[in-house]
Chains A and B, each alone.
Chain A
Amino acid sequence: MINYFLVFVLFGVGLYGVLVKKNIVKKILGLAIFTYAVNLFFVLIGYKAGGAAPIFAVGSEANFVDPLPQAIVLTAIVIDLAILALAVAIALRIYEKHGTFDITEIRNLKG
């Protein structure tokens, strides 16, 4: 249970970074942290105490961890990578245009 609690703490840390930090690089770091938290949560769901890696072999015991969350998290990590790369590319362009990473100084749009 402590594991799940820590995952939610990690999620909270990331969310805090995204919502509160003014620097867009720190916002991106926050984004990375909470996507990690979600991925970790997903892997934990498939974990089984004492379970082996899910590879079938002759004579191996059938006490495996659930392989599906692992496959899913691999996909999710690739997606997160794409988003992270895009966010960093946009952040660089913003820096070129505005000369700053501070979100309060580049606020033209009213939202």
Chain B
Amino acid sequence: MRHGIITLFLALPLAAAFLLAAVGGAKRRFAEIVGVSSPLALLALAVYVFFVRGSEPLVYSFSGWPAPLGVVWVLDGLSMLMLLAANFVAAAVAVYSVGYMKSYTAPAKYYALFNLMVGAMNALALSGDIFNIYVFLEIASVAAYALAAFGLGRDELEASFKYVILGSTASAFILMGVAIIYSATGSLNLADIAAVLAARTADSSGGAIRLAALLMTSGFALKAGLVPFHAWLPDVHSSAPSPVSAMLSGMLIKVAGLYAMARIFFFIAPVARIMPNILVFLGVLSMIVGVLLALGQWDFKRLLAYHSVSQVGYIALGLGLGTPLGIAAGLYHLINHAVFKSLMFLNAGAVEYSAGTRDLKSAGGLAARMPVTGATSLTASLAIAGVPPLNGFWSKFMIIIAAFQAGRYFAGAAAAIVSVLTLASFLKVQKYVFWGKTKENLSSVKEVPLSMTLPMAALAVACVLLGIFYPVVRDTLIQPAAMVLVRALEYSAGAIK
């Protein structure tokens, strides 16, 4: 395999986005074909690369300039995990959009922005230097701001404006952090930064790195929606069109927030020792506050958004523990949450599409009228609540064990209790929306079209398979990714050469 193939992860969606933007007034059918085939091709490419890549991290240098002078992309276990998850969710959401976005105008613009966001997320996962991480973070964010406002309704605009302002503030903090790291180490390449820092005695640039780490943590925590930086998330994720919510809640907050934070953070971790504690603290706070706020929600999508805050807390907790088991658990929960939370937003979209409501109280008994939506939603609810043998169970279980092993008993206990509250919250959703007698005014509700049921079914199957084949998934996907972070320093020495 030629190394250059990984540039297709960005080139393909960019080409699709450019084509769609260039022929903005094109027919809906054309926009759908181009817009959907690109994420599907990316998923195929991700699977292909997964099988043909070697055991060593694959380094591609742009224009042949080697690191640290040139720009490099690094495909290691962690990038591979993010690419597979991002492109799987993106492909499912793109197919779903064909049905859902029928009621919206300007399909070419929608798919152009969608592809731009997917391409930027892929490139972010592959970037080997902190400035490129910033650039692709911004491209993904700009596309997300525009997509969040796509319906141009009152709430959508208000939410999107909030998102632009807060997101850009976070980006400015991140860029400030990049600048400080550059001034302290003279490099932007992650592996090079790690090598420079490792070669120094701990104290010579500790203060600057700690300041940079603090700035970046607040920036990335806002992008990830961790409490107390979560204020925008429920508004944006509940107002945006459902496929966009699925993409934002399912992938963007993780790639742009947690992945980028972990990627940078584990390279500078030896210098900034205080960071794990901050991550654990934010994680536990998000878990508890998110689920408590979610319990009182009666808007389907708002409830899901608050659960995103809570579940992101689990991932941050796992990563912050810093032990091999904790990191693996955090990453496993990251992909699990990507799968079931995007599925739930698609379910919420299907309910809104067919029954015309997001209010839990005004729906009821829809499982009889919408069997696929009901069944997939039940799967996702059980998975997020951590019922065995579904995927959510294993990752939460691992996080709790890792927390106890690391001696953080309060965090472990909180994770267990929040899991129970999550179950209660989703039983409420099931009871009010799907179970019981169908309400009179909903008796003519029909199941959504095939283009929407198929992606939901695929995501539900993924929830089950990721749970049942837990040992296989752990050994082939999660462990290699976790080892990247665990061995960040040793690996970095190998990547520069």
Chain A contacts to B: CB under 8 angstroms = 11, 15, 18, 24, 27-28, 31, 34-35, 38, 41-42, 45, 68-69, 72, 75-76, 79, 82-83, 86-87, 90-91, 93-94, 97-98, 106-111
Instruction: Flag if B234 contacts A86 (CB, 8 Å).
Output: no
Instruction: Flag if B161 contacts A24 (CB, 8 Å).
Output: yes
Give the distance to chain A from B292, nearest Cβ to Cβ, in Å: 15
A and B contact pairs by CB, cutoff 8 A, 19 listed = A11-B172, A18-B165, A18-B169, A38-B175, A42-B175, A45-B183, A83-B142, A86-B145, A90-B145, A93-B149, A97-B154, A98-B154, A106-B158, A108-B158, A109-B158, A109-B234, A109-B235, A109-B239, A111-B162
Give the distance to chain B from A50, nearest Cβ to Cβ, in Å: 19
Quick one: given A109-B158, A111-B234, are A31 and B175 in contact (CB under 8 Å)? no
- Provide the residues of chain B in CB contact with A28, threshold 8 Å: 165
B231 contacts chain A at the CB level, 8 A cutoff: yes
Instruction: Flag if A82 contacts B142 (CB, 8 Å).
Output: yes
Instruction: Flag if A42 contacts B157 (CB, 8 Å).
Output: no
CA distance A52 to B142 in the complex (A): 36
B135 contacts chain A at the CB level, 8 A cutoff: yes
CA distance A75 to B135 in the complex (A): 8
Among the listed A11, A41, A86, A111, which residue makes an inter-chain contact with B231, where contact means beta carbons less than 8 Å apart?
A: A111
Among the listed B138, B157, B175, B176, which residue makes an inter-chain contact with A93, where contact means beta carbons less than 8 Å apart?
A: B157
Instruction: Flag if B179 contacts A86 (CB, 8 Å).
Output: no
Instruction: Flag if A76 contacts B175 (CB, 8 Å).
Output: yes
- Provide the residues of chain A in CB contact with B135, threshold 8 Å: 75, 79
B133 contacts chain A at the CB level, 8 A cutoff: no
17 additional A-B pairs beyond A86-B146, A93-B149, A106-B158, beta carbons within 8 Å, are A31-B168, A38-B175, A45-B183, A68-B188, A75-B131, A82-B138, A83-B138, A86-B142, A87-B165, A87-B168, A90-B161, A93-B152, A94-B161, A97-B154, A98-B154, A108-B158, A111-B231
- Provide the residues of chain A in CB contact with B157, threshold 8 Å: 90, 93-94, 97
Q: Mark B399-416, 1 if CB is under 8 A from A, else 0.
A: 000000000000000000
CA distance A38 to B239 in the complex (A): 31
Among the listed A27, A79, A110, A111, which residue makes an inter-chain contact with B138, where contact means beta carbons less than 8 Å apart?
A: A79
Q: Chain B residue with minimal CB distance to A91?
A: B161
Quick one: given A94-B157, A97-B157, are A86 and B164 in contact (CB under 8 Å)? yes
CA distance A70 to B152 in the complex (A): 37
Q: Mark B160-183, 1 if CB is under 8 A from A, else 0.
A: 111011001101100110010011
Give the distance to chain A from B65, nearest Cβ to Cβ, in Å: 13
Chain B contacts to A: CB under 8 angstroms = 131, 135, 138-139, 142, 145-146, 149, 152, 154-155, 157-162, 164-165, 168-169, 171-172, 175-176, 179, 182-183, 188, 231-232, 234-235, 239
Q: Chain B residue with minimal CB distance to A93?
A: B157
Q: Chain B residue with minimal CB distance to A28?
A: B165
Q: Chain A residue with minimal CB distance to B172?
A: A38
CA distance A82 to B231 in the complex (A): 24
Instruction: Flag if A90 contacts B160 (CB, 8 Å).
Output: yes
- Provide the residues of chain A in CB contact with B234, threshold 8 Å: 109-111
Total cross-chain contacts (CB, 8 A): 91
Q: Chain B residue with minimal CB distance to A95?
A: B157
- Provide the residues of chain A in CB contact with B183, threshold 8 Å: 45
Give the distance to chain B from A3, nearest Cβ to Cβ, in Å: 13
Instruction: Flag if B239 contacts A69 (CB, 8 Å).
Output: no
Among the listed B138, B149, B231, which residue makes an inter-chain contact with A90, where contact means beta carbons less than 8 Å apart?
A: B149
CA distance A83 to B161 in the complex (A): 11
- Closest A-B pairs by Cβ, 5 of them: A109-B235, A45-B183, A42-B179, A111-B231, A79-B138
Give the distance to chain B from A1, nearest Cβ to Cβ, in Å: 14
CA distance A106 to B159 in the complex (A): 11
Give the distance to chain B from A30, nearest Cβ to Cβ, in Å: 9
Give the distance to chain B from A69, nearest Cβ to Cβ, in Å: 7
- Provide the residues of chain B in CB contact with A98, threshold 8 Å: 154
- Provide the residues of chain A in CB contact with B165, threshold 8 Å: 18, 27-28, 31, 87
- Provide the residues of chain A in CB contact with B161, threshold 8 Å: 24, 87, 90-91, 94
Among the listed A35, A38, A45, A83, which residue makes an inter-chain contact with B164, where contact means beta carbons less than 8 Å apart?
A: A83
CA distance A45 to B184 in the complex (A): 10
- Provide the residues of chain B in CB contact with A27, threshold 8 Å: 165
CA distance A90 to B239 in the complex (A): 15
Interface centre among B149, B164, B188 (most CB of A within 10 A): B164
Give the distance to chain B from A39, nearest Cβ to Cβ, in Å: 8
Q: Chain A residue with minimal CB distance to B131?
A: A72
CA distance A91 to B165 in the complex (A): 11
- Provide the residues of chain A in CB contact with B155, threshold 8 Å: 108-109
Instruction: Flag if B164 contacts A94 (CB, 8 Å).
Output: no
